[in-house]
Structure 1
Amino acid sequence: MFKKPVQMGEPGDRIAALFTNLDAKEIERGIVCQPGIVSLLENIVIDFKKISYYKGQLKSQNKFHITSGHLTVMGQLKLIIRPKNLQLEINSEGEYLEDYEDFGKLQEKYNLYGVLQLEKPLIASMNSLVIGSKLDTDLEANICRIAFYGNILHSFTGQQIFQQNYLRIFRKKSKNGKVEKVIDNYTLLIKDLFKKETNIANYIGKLIVIKQGNIQGKIESAFGKSGKVKVFVESGTNQDMINSDVVMIYKKYLFHK
């Protein structure tokens, strides 16, 4: 078949190459490319698209068989969303999504991405197609095993995900407390929002909402060592606020302390 010597090959050509001192038993499949085209990718971010015929669970923390090119490895999925008007960069914030089912009511305003933490590196290039499957599903079940697909947008090492300037995945959390006292015309004393061992310094400047009247305030400082805090209310305080419920909504990052 391959009897004509050639000096070069182009995409789409079928050629044979002879490598000396190479044990063919050590190679199952391989890629021939220019240096730097492909890399060993430990973790990847893809633009996430669900296969409509897949009826299994599609949740963050689930493990799937991840295929790109000739390789298939195991990987853990984390779903994240980001507003459509904001491009996803490697130093961007992405909000954690627990279940794909929750994306239905969000898809008009948000794009969906998948973060895949791989158990073994993939050999692939940026923008390569990635397929996520449940290949351990019973073959006799007669159900779709391919769950999702997408193209590789970013990659990062296992250590980079813990760095503050890399992809920051957060969950929205809330803490609840009560107004204990009106200190002055612009300051409230809030109790039950934090435990006494909490480092209040981490929350200085965070917004809280007084549910009665939906009034915003800002945490100003700790009050003693009991977990109570002073809150500045720009619009002013009044005695009717005493015993009102307050809530603080904040971001908790998955990998960063």
Structure 2
Amino acid sequence: NVEIPVLKSKNKVKSIQVFRKPVDKAIQGDRCGICLANFDSKQFERGFVCSPGYVKTAYAVIIELNKIKHFKSKIESRSKFHISIGHETVLAKVELFSAQKEFSFESEFLHIPEVDQEYLDQSPKDTKVYALIDFGCESTSEHGVLCVEKSLLIGSKLDTDIHLNQCRIAFYGRVLHSFGSKDFRENELLALKVYKEKSKEGVVERKHDEFTVIGKALFKKETNIDIFVGLRVQLSTGDEGVIESGFGQSGKFKVRIANGLSQKLRDCLDKKGAVQPQYGPVKIILNFKRFVYDDKKKMTQ
């Protein structure tokens, strides 16, 4: 049997001919005619004929992105490109991420907003740029695209004015993974660990006890501080602490410093424990990672 994926049909092979001579089999490189049982040739003009299950429908794919040097514009996350794969050219959305390692769902990747030649030149030589190509826009969202493992994919800006003297082909890459479900964002994609680096800054309001200070201006009044409890913070005095809990209802919070307040921090406080104006604000800096595809929006460090 053979499968015609675009028609979602499987048909029995009745006979094979090569240059009008009957043969028992055909191999890679042969030009052959195949007679199929119960098949109307008018339904099919161009596409894949393959072993059942070999060509799969993909609603998104991941590639290692190779930028074309002659493409002068930036490749931006969440922008749309014309994607040529197999016998199709469709419009798709691109999301970029990178790492200094081979692709694996076990690894973590840094989300990147854009890629241009300057970014590639300044990155370490072993940096690899990956792209999630989402076919879920316009007509392709319903039926996806057909591809096989390691299919070559080409991204272009075909809507660029043809009279401009510039390259319209932006990138290419081989398919490393394909998502075969329309609902891949609600299930399969959750396993992809792409994160954004985040940083928030607040200030010390006053001393609470010998191991704790009260901070403010790091969170809004309506912020659920519980999701930040346990995260490490750095003070501008060099002290390191952990967010212990919220304090009151105005967005203030407690920072626990395990080794106790340093002498430098104590020198910034008056007898009542408040920060003295002449020393300026004592900053509290919170750095963390938030995973892009995590539906629970958890934060880690």
Specify if TM > 0.5: yes
What is the CA-CA distance between 1:189 and the residue it aligns to?
A: 1.2
1:161 aligns to what SS in structure 2? helix
Flag structure 1 segments of 5+ consecutive residues without an equivalent: none
Q: 1:239 aligns with which of 266, 279, 282?
A: 266
What is the CA-CA distance between 1:80 and the residue it aligns to?
A: 0.3
2:19 aligns to what SS in structure 1? coil
Q: 1:216 aligns with which of 218, 225, 240?
A: 240
**Matched ranges for 1:69-88 at <5 A:** 69-82=86-99, 84=100, 86-88=101-103
**Matched ranges for 1:69-108 at <5 A:** 69-82=86-99, 84=100, 86-90=101-105, 92-101=107-116, 102-108=119-125
What is the CA-CA distance between 1:20 and the residue it aligns to?
A: 4.4
1:198 aligns to what SS in structure 2? coil
Q: 1:186 to 1:114 in 2, by over 3 A?
A: same
Q: Which residue of 1 aligns with 2:71?
A: 54
What is the CA-CA distance between 1:158 and the residue it aligns to?
A: 4.6
TM, length-normalised to structure 2: 0.77
- Matched residue count: 254
Report the Cα distance in structure 2 between the residues aligned to 1:161 and 1:68, rounded to whole angstroms.
21
Report the Cα distance in structure 2 between the residues aligned to 1:165 and 1:98, rounded to whole angstroms.
20
Q: 1:27 to 1:158 in 2, by over 3 A?
A: same
Output one character per residue of 1:124-162: Cα deviation in whole Å (capped at 9) or x when no partner.
Answer: 112111110111222222321110011111122453334
**Which segment is superposed worse, 140-149 or 236-245?**
236-245
What amino acid maps onto 1:239 in structure 2? R
Report the Cα distance in structure 2 between the residues aligned to 1:62 and 1:165, rounded to whole angstroms.
21
What is the CA-CA distance between 1:236 and the residue it aligns to?
A: 2.5
Report the Cα distance in structure 2 between the residues aligned to 1:44 and 1:228, rounded to whole angstroms.
44
Q: Which residue of 2 aligns with 1:41?
A: 58
Report the Cα distance in structure 2 between the residues aligned to 1:21 and 1:64, rounded to whole angstroms.
39
2:226 aligns to what SS in structure 1? helix
Report the Cα distance in structure 2 between the residues aligned to 1:188 and 1:109, rounded to whole angstroms.
43
**Which segment is superposed worse, 3-12 or 245-254?**
245-254
The root-mean-square deviation of aligned C-alpha atoms, in Å, is 2.1
Output one character per residue of 1:168-192: Cα deviation in whole Å (capped at 9) or x when no partner.
Answer: 3222122110011222232221111
TM, length-normalised to structure 1: 0.90
Q: 1:55 to 1:25 in 2, by over 3 A?
A: farther
Q: Which has the higher contact order (CA 8 A, sep 6+)?
A: 1
Report the Cα distance in structure 2 between the residues aligned to 1:141 and 1:25, rounded to whole angstroms.
40
Report the Cα distance in structure 1 between the residues aligned to 2:165 and 2:35, rounded to whole angstroms.
44
Q: Which residue of 2 aligns with 1:201?
A: 226
Q: Which residue of 2 aligns with 1:67?
A: 84
**Percent identity at matched positions?**
36
Whether 1:227 and 2:227 are equivalent positions in the alignment is no
Output one character per residue of 1:88-107: Cα deviation in whole Å (capped at 9) or x when no partner.
Answer: 22354322111103444333
Whether 1:4 and 2:21 are equivalent positions in the alignment is yes
Q: Give the number of the structure whose alpha-carbon radius of gyration is greater.
A: 2
Report the Cα distance in structure 2 between the residues aligned to 1:15 and 1:168, rounded to whole angstroms.
45
Q: 2:177 aligns with which of 127, 144, 154?
A: 154
Moved over 6 A (4+): none
Q: 1:216 to 1:160 in 2, by over 3 A?
A: farther
